[in-house]
Each structure stands twice: as structure tokens, then as C-alpha cells.
Amino acid sequence: MVPADQTDSPHGTPPLSAPLSDIAIARQARKAPITQVASRLAIPEEAVIPYGRDKAKIDGAFLRSIEDRPAGRLILVTAINPTPAGEGKTTTTVGLGDGLSRIGKRVAIALREPSLGPCFGQKGGAAGGGYAQVVPMEDINLHFTGDFHAITAAHNLLAAMVDNHIHWGNALGIDPRRVLWRRVVDMNDRALRDIVQSLGGPANGLPRESGFDITVASEVMAILCLARDLEDLEARLGRIVVAERADRSFVTARDLKADGAMAALLRDAMMPNLVQTLENTPAFVHGGPFANIAHGCNSVAATRAALRLADYVVTEAGFGADLGAEKFFDIKCRQAGLKPDATVVVATVRALKMNGGVARAELGREDVDAVRRGAANLRRHVENCLGFGVPVIVAINHFTSDTQAEIGAVREAAAASGVEAVLCRHWAEGSAGIVELAEKVAALADGGTARFHPLYGDALPLREKIEAVVRRIYRGAAVSIDPPVLRTLDRYAEAGFADLPVCMAKTPYSFSTDPSLLGAPEGHAVHVREVRLSAGAGFVVAICGDVLTMPGLPRVPAAESIRLDEEGRVEGLF
């Protein structure tokens, strides 16, 4: 299964008006030299570290030099619960950036980097779609500037040092049965989920159970995305809890003296990457934490840089707003001191129809009632977002099959929640199709009405933080936490982690923990079956339901049709 936030594509079925595939459109892009893209944000050429001609990293020293500049407006793009019909969150983020640029605003987009592994599984890339894409699409989807490889290496160095420490006498007294740090690989590889390692005799260490996660699920990824600078990065890496002793006390990466070498491996990865949209709008594509067991937002370093370089910054958060926006607000904004100015909730008529009970095969048929039913999902997300004190606007990501009556039903639903809904045709038309939304978002962000506050205060006990999210965001009636899990929360609090926010891990497909419960369910029970401490990232993960941290490949992997054409271009990333 590919994580849903890695698969969002604006249009499950391309409308007739846009006959070209994403990659065909991407290849027609008239890319500006990357230094020219940087110059749109007044980034001097000497601060642009080129990776090829169309990708760059922005020099850390330059970014430090602009830290005191006033911040621009921060706009979050989030969405209704994802469905197989697609919502187009990344596409709308890109389109809105281009739209703001078109109406004369100095804008930067701040996106997540796609994961390499899933490209070879269900689908191709994840860099927007249609005429709202970031380029070079092939590079961004494969190795890009090597950030994820650096994260993989840093993660696995720590893992090797844990086992090496045990092998050479275990001076720290690690309980080999309680090693918490697994390994990672940026590949969909179910065979590595559960392994027994260190077989083959004493020279290979102490045999024990272990396994691999996909790189985006690494705490190192979350740390990279939340660290303010290299110093903060190293401090966070040092706080990673890798194992417990027999007395259940924690052993950290700093205890193993791994933090310095890990930071060295991540030095270049910490610098934000700059690319461009099809319309040459600057886009920072940096960091890509899992939106499930991590917070699913692009890096603080990139967002902060963008805010000091642009007047408007458009960023996204993974999954639907119940997971993505909540974590954006309660984890990323809280930790980084960000104050968002506006929220865009993306919806499609098709996805609302699915939320209203229409089967995927029937989506082509007009069904205004289904839109109205499904719009309960949209309204819930809108109201939740408003609850964070940030003004909201709805973007209707247009499909050619949408009827006027259906679109009208979405507008009515939004209006009933007190917000406006704007039809956008960026997928088919680029910035020309999203001018109205751009103008309204700019006005909303400039309006000064935002009074951002997180859902809960730092001092609320961990258990009550979980309950706050369940009751006020998921609208669940009851939270059940098993006694051993409660005791673990107590241990975290005793160890000094009571002030951390919680990072909820649950299905993205429903407000509840039942992925088939679409629309706006109420009164459901939420069962927290496990909690995990991410002391370096700075949150406590609460796991509700199954969490798959290593996807598998499907029966016919996309890899089978990926290859180089005669000109050395990558075929099969779509």
C-alpha cells in the first residue's frame, strides 16, 4: 500500500480538456535557469548552490543572514479526507502559488519531497499534476538532491552503532530486547518489515528481532523537517531514544556519540532545495515526513526561509485536514513559532460524492444530493480549521465532469460554515485558472483576521492532549487507552516529556479509525493501542489502528514499466 499522502493526484481520470500526461506537460516546461528563479526572491547568485541547472540548495549562511527579516504571509493548503477520486492538494498548492505570482505577488511555494520507493510501486511521481507542477519532475521524484539518501544513511549509521555497542560489551547496559531503533530503506519492501538480524555466530553480534521502515517514516526525517538550524538538528538527533535499559531508562543517540556524525551526514540535506513550477514560480521542495507516525509537513527550514524571502508562502500538509492541518498547527507551527494567515481547504465534487456514498464507477453521473451529503466532510474540516483561529477558504479543484448544480452545492455547504468556495481550473489552465482564488486568498491573508492558537496548551497532560484531538477534531465520543499504554505515557511524563505535543497516527480516510466511515461521523470510539516517543522530533505518537511503516510493492509494480528512452529520459513516471 502506498501511503495515501504520497499518491494524491488531482484527477483520477484526466479530463478531455487536458490530453497530455503529467510527464509530457513537464517535459514541455520552459524552465528558467535556477539562479534566475532564485533572483525572483532576491536570492543572490552566490547563495545558490547548483545541483544541475534546474535544482539548487540555498546556502545556510545566507539564510542565517536574513533571519531577522519580517515574515511574509503563511498560507496552508489542506484538504478533505482523501478518497480514490483524488483532491489535488499538491496540485492546488502549486496552482495557487502560480496564481499569486500571476496577480503580481512575490510568492514562494513550500512543498514536501516525494519518496523514491513508492514511485516504483503503485504509481509514478508526486510533484503536482496537469499545468500545476514543479519541475524537473523526474529528478524530484527520484534522487533529487540526495536529502532522503542522507537521511537513510544517518538513520542506519545510528542503527549500526546501537548493535555495535552491544557487540563490543554493551557498556551502556542496553536491554537487547528493548532496542527501539529500527533501520530504514527508501523502497517498498515488505520482506524487511520483520526480520531476525545478527545471525551467523558471535562475529555478527547478538541475534534479535528487528525490521526496516521506509525512509519517510524515520524520526530523522521528522527531525530534519522540524530543526531550525544545524545546531538544533544535532541537539534533536542527540535526544533520539534508541533503546531502553533493563530498568526501562532511555538510551539516546547522544549516549552512543552518534549525533555528531549523523549531523555531518545531514549537513547538506538541511539546506532547502529550490526548484520552479511550470510557470517559473520559485518552489522550495524540502523534507517529506510520513503524515502518519510523523507530522507530514515540509521543513521548518524551508518554510522559514520562504517567509523571509517572499510576501506570500503557500505550503501543504499531508492527508486530510484532520491529520495534516492539525499536525501543521499543533506540531509544526507550535514548535517553529509560525503564525499562519489563511487556510485553503481543497475539495473536489468527485471526492465529495464519494463521501456522500457514490461508488467510484458512478462518479461521472451528476448527483447533487450526494455532493450535499458528502459536503458534511468538507464542513467539518472547515470548522475544525477555523477553530485554530485562522480564516478559511475552500478551493474546488475542477474536473470536467463537474456540473454547475454540483459546484453550487459545494458553494452552499461552504457558505453554511461561513466561508467562501472558489472554483479553480489550475490543473487544466495553470495560473489563468486560479486567479480568483489567488486574489481572495491574498485578501484573506492580508485581512489581519488570523488569531492562530494551537488546539491545546503545552501543559495539558499527554492523555488529555490525545483526548482533545479525538473529541474536538475527530468528534469521537470516547477515547480508550489500554492500561499499559497509559503507564507508558506516565513514564514519558516522568522522563520529562510531558510538555510535548501528540502526533496522531490513524487512517487518513475517515474522521474515525474506520476507513470506510466517510462523511462526518460522530460519536465513534477511538482506541489508542500504542504510544511511541519521538524525543528528537519532539512529539509523542499515539497510534490508533494499524500503522504500516513499510509499504509493499503491488502485483505489477510500476517499476516494470519505468525505463530510459533513447534520449536518456525516464519513461513511466506519470
Q: Which of 43, 74, 75, 116 binds a second copy (CB under 8 A)?
A: 116
- Nearer Cβ to a second copy, position 117 or 340? 117
Cis-peptide into 136, omega within 30 deg: yes
Measured from the CB of residue 200, what is the shortest distance to a second copy in angstroms?
A: 3
Instruction: Kindly state whether residue 84 participates in binding a second copy, applying the rule CB under 8 A.
Output: no
Residue 129 near residue 15, CB atoms below 8 Å: no
Facing residues of 504 across strands?
Answer: 542
Residue 83, annotated as binding a ligand: yes
Three-point CA angle 233, 268, 300, nearest 5°: 50
The contacts of residue 349 (CB under 8 Å, 6+ apart) are: 371, 396, 399, 401, 402, 403, 406, 407, 410
On whether 121 is known to bind a ligand per the annotation, the reply is no
Residue 181 binding a second copy, by CB under 8 A: no
Which of 151-159, 437-445, 466-474, 481-489 is the region at the interface with a second copy (rule: CB under 8 A)? 151-159
Q: Is 365 in the site for a second copy (CB under 8 A)?
A: no
Between 258 and 354, whose beta carbon lies closer to a second copy? 258
Which position among 388, 427, 511, 539 bears the catalytic label?
Answer: 427
When the beta carbons of 482 and 560 are compared against a second copy, the nearer one is 560
CA–CA gap between residue 283 and residue 144 (Å, rounded):
14
Q: Residue 231 CB, nearest distance to a second copy (Å)?
A: 9
Q: Work out whether 142 is an interface residue with a second copy (CB under 8 A).
A: yes
Binders of a second copy in range 260-319 (CB under 8 A)? 260-261, 263-265, 267-268
Q: What is the 3 state secondary structure string of 259-312?
A: HHHHHHHHCCCCCCEEEEECCCCEEEECCCCCCCCCCCECCHHHHHHHHHHCCE
Q: Is 427 a catalytic residue?
A: yes
Pick 217 or 438: Cβ nearer a second copy: 217
Q: Which of residues 489-508 bind a second copy (CB under 8 A)?
A: none
Instruction: Assess whether 506 carries a catalytic annotation.
Output: no
Q: Which of 103, 185, 460, 493 is the binder for a second copy (CB under 8 A)? A: 185
Residue 109 CA from chain centroid, whole number: 14
- The piece of 146-154, 283-291, 424-432, 500-508 that touches a second copy (CB under 8 A) is 146-154
Q: Which of residues 229-258 bind a second copy (CB under 8 A)?
A: 230, 234, 257-258
Radius of gyration for the chain, computed over Cα atoms and rounded to the nearest angstrom: 23
Q: Where in 441-520 does DSSP place strands (E)? A: 478-481, 502-505
Shortest distance, position 165 Cβ to a second copy, whole Å: 9
Residue of the chain from 160, 443, 478, 525 that contacts a second copy (CB under 8 A)? 160
CA 241 – CA 246 distance, rounded (Å): 14
Annotated active-site residue in 27, 31, 106, 123: 123
> Is residue 561 part of the contact set for a second copy (CB under 8 A)?
yes
- Residue 143: what residue type? H
- What is the size of the binding site for a second copy (CB under 8 A)? 74
DSSP 124: -
Beta bridge partners of 188: none
Q: Which residues of 365-388 are buried (b: 16+ CB within 10 A; e: fewer)?
A: eebbebbbbbbbbbbbbbebbbeb
H helix or E strand, kind and range, residue 374: helix 368-386
DSSP label at residue 349 = H
Task: Show contacts with a second copy in window 205-234 (CB under 8 A).
Answer: 205, 209-211, 230, 234
- Is residue 553 a contact point for a second copy (CB under 8 A)? yes
Binding status of residue 355 toward a second copy by CB under 8 A: no
> Least CB distance from residue 470 to a second copy, whole Å?
28
62 part of the active site: no
Which listed range, 95-103, 334-342, 431-439, 556-564, lies at the site for a second copy (CB under 8 A)? 556-564
319 is catalytic: yes
Burial (CB count <10 Å: 0-12, 13-18, 19+), residue 447: exposed
Q: Cα separation of 538 and 549, whole Å?
A: 19
Beta strands at 392-397 and 421-424: parallel, antiparallel or unpaired: parallel
112 is catalytic: yes
Catalytic site residue 291? Answer: yes
Residues annotated as part of the active site: 89, 91, 112, 123, 291, 319, 399, 427
Q: Please enumerate, by residue number, every residue annotated as part of a binding site.
A: 83-90
